[in-house]
Structure 1
């Protein structure tokens, strides 16, 4: 039995999701004529209490579109040093928008309002880039699935309003944060100018992300999506998966979090584990004590048991629980770790 814990993107559609996909009513979404895509966009916009939404093939394209919406070439955005838009989007900030990043040395991918304010370049000092955008990520990927304190996000919003900055949320795993913290999508919709949400992380869809905002921004996003090559034709087959996931596969995220906590607790008890990062949702980041065992040997030992995790460099490894990680797999994995 293969146990794949490299990411929550490795899931395959559930039987109910496949049924929804195969029975979807579709059209040509490039002409905005796919009824299922339109329904998904309306559903996500309503969930966040925003005017409009736009379906994208990937979270990276969604974030990159948002950045382009809010900036001009030569501008600068502020984000944490762990931010996905800086670390894992292929340098798209500079390539697509001609924008640089002012990196904040935050805590587990999260920065404070004071740090954001201190990082803003004086708008009348033309020798430095013009600060125009602040990007937050919730939950934080490189920060180990950490959830922001919502009140800090509110304080950052006040800074953005004070200095006339746009505010974007990379909400790739926002669903995990909502379940863990008992917050609502509407709260986030009221706070950010744009939000990207991923359907293939945690919710189990095969592909797709959605950008939400006001009508004018989303109309402009449609043009940018076209420029980036993101227009899809009968995309309703995939959008149907998103609708199904939002209706049926949201609450079960709590089970992923429970399994992750159990893995984290066991790792902390093992002599060859140096450190386990604080754990809130479905991502476990930990370090190997290489006096006992090398990272490569640890990964190899798991591979021999048909168990797969991912390395992050500097002796750190990552495990991500997800909907295809069953109770049976969980017991096998825990037993494997105990007897390694």
Structure 2
């Protein structure tokens, strides 16, 4: 990937003259069966651009899942910067939401109300453990939104993980979406960047919004080259990452579920959510311990292993497998996790 970055032909992308950026945008547009695409610095900016582009009239309202990344993890940018009102739908355990509830929340014509302009979805869904939205539900959502005259934006930060899990082209997943944002720096391993895709007119508007948000970059082909490499060489390896998560989940389940629990069947992709009882041990403490190595541990395992995880809620931990991990790395992680679980069990008297 670094060699591709060093060898990339460059130009000024603000003027549309960087050949590597242009190649990346054309590649993503083709993969998603969209008319055009736009390279942006981050997924947060990509989602913000798409929401604002669909909601040009102030007083617009966007329907989003209550556990969605746009709602929880992007600083409320759609309202803070765009004057767009978010209205939440309850995300179900599989990352979907009730389409009857969605219909009920769509605003009619009333001077007191904001105007519903957009429906946002997320695939894979981070906060429910990287689950893949079912194709049948996506088809039903598309039909409902066409009937309602509402566009759909997909936060597809991990869209290619979803495509790998479903064994379908990414274009099949987004065929009813007016826009999509895909991340190059999540499971795909690029150092930076996302790509927004949609119609030619939509991308023209997106380019104007990218500029005013400070996202116009000059010789950004050095970054786009990493994205092209990731699409060509990392995307085909995503099923391996998903299999690694299953290995970890099964190993933790075999420990008996006293300290931490997980559901292998609910881990669709490269994310594993672990549940724990905070009265026994908190997620934060488990994360801290997994990032430490004691002398006793090194002597028992014969190696020094540091595992970095995220305390997601008061009861949950998120573990994500990335493209640089090997089979040996996963086996070392499993051995450490089993050691730490036994250590906490001994301390708690369980």
After TM superposition, the score normalised by the length of structure 2 is 0.89
CA contact (8 A) 2:271 2:320 kept: yes
Query: 1:296: Cα distance to partner?
Result: 3.6
CA contact (8 A) 2:262 2:273 kept: yes
Aligned length: 323
Query: 1:291: Cα distance to partner?
Result: 4.6
CA distance in 1, matches of 2:40, 2:316: 32
Give the equivalent residue in structure 2 for 1:208: 193
Query: 1:274: Cα distance to partner?
Result: 4.8
Alignment RMSD, CA only?
A: 1.4
1:286 aligns with 2:286: no
CA contact (8 A) 2:99 2:141 kept: yes
CA distance in 2, matches of 1:144, 1:217: 31
1:261 aligns with 2:249: no
Give the equivalent residue in structure 1 for 2:115: 130
CA distance in 2, matches of 1:46, 1:19: 25
Pick from 2, 8, 14 the counterpart of residue 30 of structure 1. 14
Higher Cα Rg, which structure = 2
CA distance in 2, matches of 1:86, 1:20: 35
Give the equivalent residue in structure 2 for 1:106: 91
Q: What's the CA shift string for 1:256-290, capped at 9, x where partnerless? A: 11111111122223343354252110111111124
Q: Which has the higher contact order (CA 8 A, sep 6+)?
A: 1
CA distance in 2, matches of 1:167, 1:158: 11
CA distance in 2, matches of 1:296, 1:224: 38
Pick from 35, 40, 45 the counterpart of residue 56 of structure 1. 40
Ranges in structure 2 where 5+ consecutive residues have no aligned partner: 294-305, 341-350
Query: 1:292: Cα distance to partner?
Result: 3.8
Give the equivalent residue in structure 2 for 1:326: 326
Pick from 93, 105, 128 the counterpart of residue 119 of structure 1. 105
Query: 1:229: Cα distance to partner?
Result: 0.4
CA distance in 2, matches of 1:106, 1:290: 24
1:314 aligns with 2:279: no
Following TM superposition, where does structure 1 have runs of at least 4 consecutive aligned residues deviating by more than 4 angstroms? none
CA distance in 2, matches of 1:275, 1:254: 23
Query: 1:197: Cα distance to partner?
Result: 0.6
Give the equivalent residue in structure 2 for 1:166: 151
Q: 1:301 to 1:274 in 2, by over 3 A?
A: closer
CA distance in 1, matches of 2:215, 2:284: 38
Ranges in structure 1 where 5+ consecutive residues have no aligned partner: 1-16
Query: 1:100: Cα distance to partner?
Result: 1.5
Query: 1:226: Cα distance to partner?
Result: 0.4
CA distance in 2, matches of 1:189, 1:42: 17
Give the equivalent residue in structure 2 for 1:245: 230
